[in-house]
Structure 1
Amino acid sequence: MPLWVWLTLGTVLAQTARNAIARSMVEEISAPLNSWARYAFMLPWLFPVVIFFVMRSGMPHVSPSYLAYAVIAAICQITGGVLLIMAFKHSNFAQSVIFHKLGVVFIAVIGVLFFQESPSRLAWLGILLCSVGIVLMNIGRELGPSGWRQAFHLDRGGVLAVMCALILACFNFTAKRSLQILVQDNPHLQEASFESLILACFLVTALDTVILTLYLLLRHSGQFRHVCRLWPRMVMVGTASLANSLMWFWAVSLTLVAYVAAVSQIESALAVLLGLIIWREHEVWRQIPGVALLIGGMTLVILG
C-alpha cells in the first residue's frame, strides 16, 4: 500500500485514542478546556524539536499569506474540536464520531470547487459508499423516528457533529495550503520532509493554544484548577494529538485531502467497537452493515 495509506491508518489510531480520552473528561471539564489540553500538552513535545531545526537551518521565513492560512486553520481546528466535544455530551461516542466523519463529503466537494483536487471516478464511488455506510450506521441507532427517516434524523449531538465535520473540512485545506506556502517560501524545506511538518504543526498548535488560553482566562479562568487533577489524561490527549497531527500533515502532503479523509473513515468502525466495549452502547450491533460499506468504500478510494 502507498505510504499515505499507512500514515492515514496511523492517524486513525491516534485520533481514536485522543477522542476516547477526551470523551472520558466531558463530564468533568468544559469543552474549551478539553480542547485546550489537546494543544497545550502537544507543545512540550514540539518545542525542543523546533528549537533543534531553527538552530540547524535558521529561522524559517513566515510570509503574510502563510500566517493568514495558519490563523484560519487554527480557528477552524479549535471550533471543530470544541463542537465535537460538545457533541459527546449530547450523543453517544460512536454516533458523534460517525457524524463528524461525514466531513469526507464536504472535503470532496470543497476540493473540487476551490482547490483543484479532483478524485478519480473509482475514488468518487468509494467516497459515496463511505457516505452511504455512515447513513446506514445512523439507521442502526435506537433513538429517533422510525423507518428511513432515521437515516437523516439529527439530534442536538448530531447537528454539532455535522457542523464539526464542515468546519474541519475547511481546516484540512487551509492547513494543507499553509504547509505548501511554508515550503514555497523556504527553499531548504521539502513538502514531505519532517522539518516542514514539525514547523507547520508547531505554528498552528501554538496559535490554538494562545487563542484558547486567552479565551479561558477571560471567560472561564476557574477551569484551570482542573488541570492539576486531570493532567495525566491531558498528557495522553496531547501525545495522541501530536502523533495524529504529524501523520495527518505528512499524509495530505502526499495525496488528495479527500483520499485521506475517506480512508480515515475506518475511525467510525473503531468508534463503534469502543462504544460497545467501554460505554456499553449496544445499539452499535445494528450498525455493522454500515461498517462493511465503509470498509468497501475505503478500499475503492485506495485503488482509485
Structure 2
Amino acid sequence: MVGTGREETQVMGLWIWVTIGAAVSQTVRSAYQKKLKAPLGDLGASYVRFSYAVPFAVIWMFAYAAWSGVPLPALNLPFLIWVTLAGVTQIIFTVLLVTMFSHRSFAAGTAFSKTEVIQAAIFEAIILGHVVNLQVGVAIIIGVVAVMLLSLAKAKLTVANLAGALFTRQTAIGLASGAFLGFCTVAYRAASDSLASDDLLTRASFTAAVSVVIQSVLMGVWMWRRAPDELRRSFIHWRDSSIVGLSGAISTACWFTAFSLYAVAPVRAVGQIELLFVLGISFFFFREKPSTTELLAMALLALSIVMVLLA
C-alpha cells in the first residue's frame, strides 16, 4: 500500500509538471508566431507552425518507437481521411488565430481560441446526441458573456455596443477559430483511434507526424500558387520559425504524455494556466497592458472552460 501511494504521488506530480510544460511551450509558440506576423504575413506565420514542426515530430515518433519497442501502426483509409480533415481544419484555425492578432491584443486573441472547449460541447450535442447537463449549460452562458466582454474591451459598455458586438469581425474570427479547433480535436481523436495499436503514445506520435507532413505539403503547395513571397520568407526567417516548430512539437508531446499519465479533464483544467502565461508575455514582451474588462473576461472564460471540462 505504501508503494502504491508513492507511485500515485509521483504520477500526480509528473502529470502536473508535464501539463505546465505543454502550456509554456504553447505560449512560446504563439508569441513567436505573433512576432513573425510582420515579416511573414498571416499565412507565413501560420505555415511555419507546421513546416518547422515536421523534423521534431518525426524524431519524436521514431525515438519513442525505438525506446518502447512498439512497432509503428500501418496506414489505413479511415485514418487518412480523419487525419487529413483534422489537419486542414487545424490549418484554418491557425490562420484565423494569427489573423485575430491584428484585431485584439495578444492575450485576448488567445482567449478567443479557448472557446474551442465550449463549442466542442455544442458539437457533441448536435452530432453525437450527448446533451449537456446544467453545469455545462451554465458554463456555455458564462463563456458567451466572456466573449462579448472581450469584444467590448476597447469600447464603452452600453446596450447598443453589447448588441453590436455580436456582429463584429473580431468576434466572428474568434468564434470561427474555436469552431475549427473544436472539430479538429474530434477528428484527431477519430484518426488516432482508427490505428491498430494499443499503445497511446505510439498512436499519438504517429498521428502527429503524419498530420504535420500532410499539413506542410498541402499548405506549402497552396502558398506556392497563391502566396509565393510569404512561402519564400518563411525559409529566410528560419531561426524564429524553428522556435515555433520546436515549441509546437514539444507542446504536442507534453499534452499527449500528460493524457497518458492522468485523466484528460484535470489535465486540460491545469492547462488553463496558459492564460496567465499569455498575460505575462503580453505585458512584458509585447508591452500590451490588458484592461480590467479584458482581465475579467478572460477569468470568466477560463472559469467556463474548467466547468465544461470538469462537468
Confirm or deny: 8 A CA contact 2:18 2:255 kept in the other structure: yes
Confirm or deny: 8 A CA contact 1:87 1:158 kept in the other structure: no
Which string of whole-angstrom CA distances, capped at 9 and with x for unpartnered residues, describes residues 91-143 of structure 1?
3222322222222221111123334666665455455545544444444x114
Deviation at 1:221, TM superposition (A): 2.3
Q: 1:256 to 1:299 in 2, by over 3 A?
A: closer
Equivalences for residues 149-160 of structure 1 within 5 A: 149-151=160-162, 153=165, 155-160=168-173
Q: 1:114 to 1:287 in 2, by over 3 A?
A: same
2:143 and 2:14 mapped to 1: Cα distance?
21
Q: 1:11 to 1:58 in 2, by over 3 A?
A: closer
* Higher mean displacement: 66-75 or 7-16: 7-16
Equivalences for residues 206-225 of structure 1 within 5 A: 206-225=213-232
Equivalences for residues 34-113 of structure 1 within 5 A: 34-52=45-63, 56-113=69-126
Amino acid in structure 2 at the alignment position of 1:87: M
Confirm or deny: 8 A CA contact 2:25 2:247 kept in the other structure: yes
Deviation at 1:89, TM superposition (A): 2.4
- In structure 1, what is the equivalent of residue 158 of structure 2? 147
Equivalences for residues 110-259 of structure 1 within 5 A: 110-115=123-128, 121-122=134-135, 125-126=138-139, 128-139=141-152, 141-143=153-155, 146-151=157-162, 153=165, 155-182=168-195, 185-186=196-197, 189-191=198-200, 194-250=201-257
2:146 and 2:65 mapped to 1: Cα distance?
45
2:26 and 2:130 mapped to 1: Cα distance?
24
Query: What TM-score, normalized to structure 2?
Result: 0.79
Percent of residue pairs identical: 20
Deviation at 1:80, TM superposition (A): 0.8
Q: 1:190 to 1:150 in 2, by over 3 A?
A: farther
Point out where structure 1 has 5 or more consecutive residues left out of the alignment: none
2:22 is the alignment partner of 1:11:
yes
- In structure 2, what is the equivalent of residue 25 of structure 1? 36
Q: 1:149 to 1:272 in 2, by over 3 A?
A: farther
1:226 and 1:21 mapped to 2: Cα distance?
15
2:216 and 2:192 mapped to 1: Cα distance?
19
Secondary structure of the residue aligned to 1:82 is helix
2:128 and 2:252 mapped to 1: Cα distance?
21
Query: What TM-score, normalized to structure 1?
Result: 0.81
Deviation at 1:181, TM superposition (A): 1.2
Point out where structure 2 has 5 or more consecutive residues left out of the alignment: 1-11
Amino acid in structure 1 at the alignment position of 2:246: T
